[in-house]
Amino acid sequence: MQVTVELPDDIAEQLVSLQDEVPEILALGLLQLSANPSSGFSGLTEVLEFLAGLPSPQETLDLRLSEAVQSQVESLLEKNRSNGLEPLEKRLWQQYEFVEHLVRMAKARALLKLKQAA
């Protein structure tokens, strides 16, 4: 199926070098939107919004995934155990791993701050 869309010039320029990957890019975007329609890749959005609020060290240590993100992670884990992940799902999983890494770094720093304050 062929689809024609109008894009802003800056996005069109970025896609020129990625034209063979456009179907995968669109499919990944749709997968992320279905994970949380209001915010796209919600895991990173939630973490950034939380950190932008300048939480205390204890609040950082108490940070947990929202139910929506936890559900998506569990779904990907289950699918990986049973059938394996498709390439787009693997990319989404890598994004969740990146967010987990950021959170671990923030929690490690928060723990150091609490120990230094004690």
Q: Please, what is the average pLDDT of the chain?
A: 85
Do 76 and 19 meet the contact criterion of CB atoms below 8 Å apart?
no
Q: Which two tokens stand for residue 44?
A: 């990173």
Angle, alpha carbons 49-26-69 (nearest 5°): 35
pLDDT band for 33, please (50, 70, 90 cuts): low
Q: What pLDDT, on the 0 to 100 scale, is given for residue 62? A: 96
> What does the block give as tokens for 35?
């994970």
Q: Convert the pLDDT of each residue in 49-107 to its tens digit.
A: 898 999 999 999 999 988 888 888 999 999 999 999 988 888 888 888 988 999 999 99
> pTM for this one?
0.62
Q: What is the distance between the alpha carbons of residues 3 and 61, in angstroms, rounded to a whole number? A: 47
Residue with tokens 């890749």: 41
